[in-house]
Amino acid sequence: MAWETIIGLEIHAQLATQSKIFSGAATAYGAEANTQACAVDLGLPGVLPVLNKEAVRMAIMFGLAINAEIPSRSVFARKNYFYPDLPKGYQISQYELPIVSRGSIDITLGNGETKTIGVTRAHLEEDAGKSVHEGFGNLTGIDLNRAGTPLIEIVSEPDMRSAKEAVAYMKKIHAIVTYLGICDGNMQEGSFRCDANVSVRPRGEKKFGTRTELKNLNSFRFVEAAINYEVERQIDVIESGGKVIQETRLYDANKNETRSMRSKEEANDYRYFPDPDLLPIEIEKKIINEIKQSLPELPDAMKRRFIEEYHLSEYDADNLTAGPALALFFETTVQHSGGEPKLSANWVMGEVAAALNRENKDYNQSPIKGEMLGGLIKRIKDNTISSNIAKEVFTAMWNGEGSADEIIEKKGLKQVTDSDAIEKMVDEVIAESPQQVEQYKNSPPEKQGKLIGFFVGQIMKKSKGKANPKQVNELLKNKLAD
């Protein structure tokens, strides 16, 4: 039977405010346990939450970026449940009246088509603390530094039909929140994480199948792997005559499998009700318009501009606008490359991406800045160096040995374009390789192209890679034809 997969995502993005959503405590990551939790975060008796306006502004920015409605009134609600890392015994969240309702984003599919994914809502809430299971024997430690950190939970419509679409959607949301500067997007630190609702149904069926919720997918790779595993699992269950149970499942990245956490019956009754400690958020149209005016260029607009302005392919433009640091890096490179967007794109997505990847760094942490890379590309463009030599220069630049020009100068890497010098080397190689010359001359033209590589290689060796390959090729062809 042919199956169709239905996926909806709930993304939690941590808002990049200085202080917590309902207290003045700092939100910085990595501080010593419980040093960034004040009386409000600890849920001490008598203390009260006071809303951080910056978190509201950021949530509105997100809503505007996905063309959503921003209702004039939204309400905080308490989500009640007991857990040791939930200090008050309830989480302040939003339930019936969220700050952002009904928006959408476009994703690009593998075949280049565009698909619109609906966003049901996005609401503000506070994060819980963290249970620490290591270092306390058979006890559990509690770190409340994260308690009260502002989040927006972004809930999609069940519009995605494959793990790949889900990842594309998640990447798009990631790009939007990082472009807006409202989330640092750091998935390892948990600033951007996701739960996936997954179900399958026979192709053509209108009714949704029973869904499971996959928890805590903290990388794009895990989202894809977890969904693919879960889809297979659900199909297996149904095809072997069983029924999918509505439950929450945890993805285990080490084993690449999902495991049951709790069933629907065991689920909490959260007893949501409006939080009487907080007034409803009232938002004037004027404020919304002000925020709208202040929005930065967003990934879709930037992508279109890259295609128009730099004549990049849809694919390149899509990749280069995946994150604000990358896009900025690319644009800086182009500006300093002497008008070489395509070459810049190749280098940014090629050498730079690979080097950053090796060292697990982001574009804004690159030891080679866009200005410097542009300087290198300029020298490829004006034939000062070849692409191969450029790689050597790049490595030296990465290691902090100076600018492209400095390195080319210092190491004497300037390309040899003096045709007399090249001709001399060509003559020498031909003289040193009578056998290969014989073979070349006896070969049909379609094979000669391949054989000429030998001579080019020898000459490049002689010139230590500095001979202009185009000139070498032309000279060789002429000489060997004689």
Partner 1 sequence: MYNKTLAELSQALQQRDTSSEELTGMYLQRCRQFMDKLNCFVTLTEEHAMAQARAADKKIQAGKAGPLTGIPMVHKDIFCTNGIKTSCGSRMLDNFIAPYDATVVRQLDDAGMVMLGKTNMDEFAMGSSNETSYYGPVLNPWDPDRVPGGSSGGSAAVVAARLTPMATGTDTGGSIRQPASLCGITGLKPTYGRVSRYGMIAFASSLDQGGPMTRTAEDAALVLNAMAGFDEHDSTSANEPVEDYTSQLENPLEGLKIGLPVEYFDERLNPDISRIIHDGIAELKKLGASIHEINLPSSKLSIPVYYVVAPAECSSNLARYDGVRFGYRCDDPRDLNDLYCRSRGEGFGREVKRRVLIGTYVLSAGYYDAYYLKAQKIRRLIRNEFQQALKEVDVIIGPTAPGTAFKLNELIDDPINMYLSDIYTVSINLAGLPAISVPAGMLNGLPVGMQIIGDYFSEARLLNVAHRFQQATDWHQHQPAEYK
- x/- mask, partner 1, residues 108-147, rule CB under 8 A, reads ----------------------------------x-----
Instruction: Using the minimum distance from each CB to partner 1, give the nearer residue, 262 or 447.
Output: 262
Cα–Cα distance for residue pair 19/1, rounded to 1 Å: 53
CB nearer to partner 1: give 42 or 97.
42
Mention every residue, 6+ apart, whose C-beta is less than 8 A from residue 399.
367
By CB under 8 A, is residue 397 in contact with partner 1?
no
Cα distance between residue 414 and residue 386, in whole Å? 9
- Identity of the residue numbered 119: V
> What's the min distance (Å) between Cβ of 271 and partner 1?
4
Chosen residue from 1, 2, 32, 46 binding partner 1 by CB under 8 A = 46
CA-angle at 463, arms to 458 and 467, nearest 5°: 95
**Residue 124 Cβ, how far from partner 1 at the closest point, in Å?**
14
Helix (H) or strand (E) holding 121: strand 114-126
The rounded Cα 335 to chain-centroid distance in angstroms is: 24
282-285 contacts, C-beta under 8 A, 24 or more apart: 282/72, 282/73, 283/56, 283/60, 283/70, 283/71, 283/72, 283/73, 283/74, 283/99, 284/72, 285/72
Smallest separation, CB 209 to partner 1 (Å): 24
Cβ distance to partner 1 smaller for residue 3 or 272 = 272
Residues 237-296 within binding reach of partner 1 (CB under 8 A): 269, 271-273, 276-279
Report the alpha-carbon distance of residue 343 to residue 377 in Å, rounded: 7
User: Site for partner 1 (CB under 8 A): which residue of 48, 245, 295, 328?
Assistant: 48
Distance separating alpha carbons of residues 283 and 362, to the nearest angstrom:
36
51 makes contact with partner 1 (CB under 8 A): yes
Nearer to partner 1, 82 or 358 (CB): 82
Rule CB under 8 A: is residue 315 a binding residue for partner 1? no
Name which of 239, 169, 236, 238 is nearest 197 in CA terms.
169
Cα–Cα distance between 308 and 302 in angstroms, integer? 10
Compute the distance between CA of residue 226 and CA of residue 157 in angstroms, rounded to an integer. 19
| Closest CB to partner 1 among residues 87, 185 | 87
# residues near partner 1 by CB under 8 A: 28
Q: Of 87 and 299, which has the nearer Cβ to partner 1?
A: 87
Closest CB to partner 1 among 73 and 311? 73
DSSP structure class, residue 349: I
CB of 134 to partner 1, least distance (A): 18
Phi, psi of 448 (to 5 degrees): -65, -35
- Judged by beta carbon, residue 82 or residue 286, the one nearer partner 1 is 82
Pick from 26, 29, 43, 325: which binds partner 1 (CB under 8 A)?
Answer: 43
* Residue 45 binds partner 1, judged by CB under 8 A: yes
Asked if 53 is part of the footprint of partner 1 (rule: CB under 8 A), the reply reads no
CB nearer partner 1, residue 42 or residue 253: 42
Give yes or no for residue 82 binding partner 1 (CB under 8 A): yes
Is there a contact between 20 and 149 (Cβ–Cβ < 8 Å)? yes
Q: How many CB atoms lie within 10 A of CB 25?
A: 21
User: Interaction with partner 1 in 90-109: which residues (CB under 8 A)?
Assistant: 90
Query: Considering only residues 10, 57, 80, 184, which one is a binding residue for partner 1 as defined by CB under 8 A?
Result: 80
What is the binding site for partner 1 (CB under 8 A)?
39, 42-51, 78, 80, 82, 84, 87-90, 142, 269, 271-273, 276-279
